[in-house]
Amino acid sequence: MTYTVRSEQRAFGGVQGFYEHSSDVCAGPMKFGVYLPPNARDVPALYFLAGLTCTEETFAIKANAQRFAAKHGIALITPDTSPRSARFDGDDKDWDFGQGAGFYLDATQEPWSGAYRMGSYVTQELPALIERAFPVSSVRGIFGHSMGGHGALSIALKNPTLYRSVSAFAPICAPSQVPWGEKVFSRYLRQRDEWSAYDTVELLATHKHPGTLLVDQGTSDKFLRDQLRPELLEAACKKSGQSLQLRMREGYDHSYYFIQSFVEEHLAHHAAALRA
């Protein structure tokens, strides 16, 4: 597995790099970011899944997380949010579908099934590359924002042995029940009964993570009532017995200012599990 270096910069004693490789899973080149803390050697990896319209650079540039990753000795891995090179009709028509909106699932409906396989990319192909080519161990955590929060929670529930820790900022908690999820699931997935495999609230009926799901949600988030629905996550966790720490943050919105405000606490949450 090979990759090319797009850029590398010194940051907090470590290195923030952006790279590109040829992906079999996504049928073309994929970009990703890696932050390595100082003196990195066999360090645990924390994967961040970004939200709609974002790229592999968004979190690395906007979240100010590298200083805390350096403190805890954790690598930060930031994949892109969708394939970019395989083009299909309508893939750039809407901001919440197609490019920039892979939703961290494996599409089964043509033509999307030919490249939109972000679920397998994030959980299999990219980690295999990272763990082979960088001084990073197989100890993993996962977190994300909005669409990426949905991805992080659902992936961790389905793969509890692969991800020791999980958290989310403003996740889409029940995509099967909100417009964003209904729009993409009905186009990416061939059958309605496939939706539950990518819905955190539905997964909680049959899946459980051994750790605590840490979720921060702003009360002034414009997507709170119609798209995010944290109350459904809270009810599902209570019913299933899944440990959840849901923190409603007064006055915060959906932006990266919100993420910056609490990313230190998320890194500490992951470090406690990844460094245990």
> Catalytic site residues?
146, 221, 254
> Alpha-carbon Rg of the chain, whole angstroms?
17
Give φ, ψ of 260 to 5 degrees: -55, -35
CA distances from 61 to 18, 58, 215, 252, 270 (A): 11, 5, 22, 20, 20
